[in-house]
Amino acid sequence: MTTQPGISFQHDPQVVDAVRRTEDLVRKVVLPVEDEHGGNAHILSEPARRDLQEAARRAGVFAPHASTEFGGLGLDMRDRAPVFEAAGYSLFGPLALNCAAPDEGNVHLLEAVATGQQRDRYLKPLAAGEVRSCFAMTEPSPGAGSDPTALATTATRTSAGWVLNGRKWFITGANGASFAIVMARTSGEPGDRGGATMFLVDTAAAGLTRVRDVDTLDESMFGGHSELVFDNVEVGEEAVLGEVDKGFEYAQIRLGPARTTHCMRWLGAARRAADLAIERANNRQAFGGKLGSLGQVQALIADSEIDIEASRALIYKTCADLDTGEPAAQITSITKTFVAEAVNRVVDRSLQVHGALGISADAPLARLYREVRPFRIYDGPSETHRWAIARRALRKARR
């Protein structure tokens, strides 16, 4: 076991500068675009996406997570945290920096697992923002969902490679994606803990159909959430990402950091909501004085500040473990569960402080509320994480 250094909340000057430039970009460029579209990325055009990303390039904050080899800033998890939080202040901020899900997580996975040829074909254009991607694991019941071992999509070996058959849904970013990282079963049966393999599949491949875009509560994910059908989709041996039957292991490479970066981005949304509540409390006249002079309003603001600081501390602890190679499954689940629920609490409190204004389109809180609620389900529901957290704690005590 490695010796973990003390966790520092201080950053090098270049990271501090990246945060400042991200904040400036978000407030001057990105927030106006978000307001224009009501936070709905489904009506944001591809040229508008490219314009936002070009603005991030000019600001020097494009792809903070990608290595410098692929045109990014090469920040580790701890240094990504404040930059991603600053980007998440706007619903479109992560898209502008090219660090939105699922592309950000796929860049991380491809850097860790892909061959040289796969990096050239898929990673380079993805990190550059030239293409988008998706991660196809979730399936309709009784397939893989909160329980990935229920994986039912199959990949059968042929003389020329593999043939994929199955159905996926809630595949974020699939509409307009250039390729998908597909989880398929190459051995065993649904319910088995092993036997999954990852495949790189071009979305234009014969037999791959986007059946529909699922109509969901949230609207800020560019490319939406789609249902895909794989009907005898043929791929070559070079499409295998990593080793055959090691897909569940590779998924952990992606999912732990991706859950943590989700927390970073949504913490930015919480900070925005808390700022709006403070502004409202300082300026709104009610009951003979400022709203902020009322004890109940002060309690709402105080509890939100506590949730934000506690969330940030958990994120940094998780980043430290991930950066140093410590076992991070437990802290990742704890952080994801706490932050997802804390962010919801912060936005809800801010909406309450705003009263009727908060639930109207005249303030951005209704759209933030709409977007943060699914986070308690995406990347594992809170209940699933609590079950896993308890199991690990009980198992540790028995040992």
Query: What is the Cα–Cα distance from 89 to 29, expressed in whole angstroms?
Result: 12
Q: In CATH, which superfamily holds the domain spanning 13-127?
A: Acyl-CoA dehydrogenase/oxidase, N-terminal domain (1.10.540.10)
Q: What is the pLDDT of residue 52?
A: 98
Query: What is the Cα–Cα distance from 86 to 21, expressed in whole angstroms?
Result: 9
User: CA 30 from chain center: how many Å?
Assistant: 18
Q: What is the pLDDT of residue 3?
A: 45
Number of neighbours of residue 18 by Cβ within 10 angstroms: 24
User: CA 154 from chain center: how many Å?
Assistant: 26
Number of neighbours of residue 287 by Cβ within 10 angstroms: 8
Q: Where are the alpha helices (DSSP H) in 65-209?
A: 77-87, 93-97, 103-113, 116-118, 124-127
Strand partners, 209: 229
* Cα-based distances in Å from 252 to 81, 113, 146, 321, 342: 20, 12, 14, 14, 24
**3 three-class SS:** coil
Question: Sign (positive/negative) of CA torsion 121, 201, 186, 158?
Answer: negative
pLDDT band, very low/low/confident/very high, at 136 (cuts 50, 70, 90)? very high
CA-wise closest residue to 278 among 198, 373, 346, 329: 346
Render pLDDT for 334-391 as a digit per residue (tens, 0 to 9). 999 999 999 999 999 999 999 999 999 999 999 999 999 999 999 999 999 999 999 9
Query: Per-residue pLDDT averaged across 28-57, rounded?
Result: 98
**361 three-class SS:** coil
86 and 262 Cβ atoms separated by less than 8 Å? no
Q: What is the pLDDT of residue 9?
A: 78
Q: Per CATH, is 248-398 categorized as 3.30.540.10?
A: no
Examine the pLDDT at 2 and tell me if it is beyond 50. no
Render pLDDT for 9-39 as a digit per residue (tens, 0 to 9). 789 999 999 999 999 999 999 999 999 999 9
Q: What CATH number should be reported for the domain whose range is 133-245?
A: 2.40.110.10
Examine the pLDDT at 1 and tell me if it is beyond 60. no
CA-wise closest residue to 348 among 264, 273, 280, 290: 273
Residue that has been written with the tokens 């059908």 in this structure: 229
Examine the pLDDT at 8 and tell me if it is beyond 90. no
Residue ranges per structural domain of the chain: 13-127, 133-245, 248-398
Query: What is the Cα–Cα distance from 185 to 92, expressed in whole angstroms?
Result: 35
Least confident of 7-11, 82-86, 94-98, 291-295: 7-11
CA-wise closest residue to 270 among 373, 359, 369, 343: 343
Average pLDDT in the chain:
96
Render pLDDT for 289-307 as a digit per residue (tens, 0 to 9). 999 999 999 999 999 999 9
pLDDT band, very low/low/confident/very high, at 5 (cuts 50, 70, 90)? low
Q: What's 4's DSSP letter?
A: P
Render pLDDT for 219-229 as a digit per residue (tens, 0 to 9). 999 999 999 99
Render pLDDT for 104-130 as a digit per residue (tens, 0 to 9). 999 999 999 999 999 999 999 999 999
**326 three-class SS:** coil
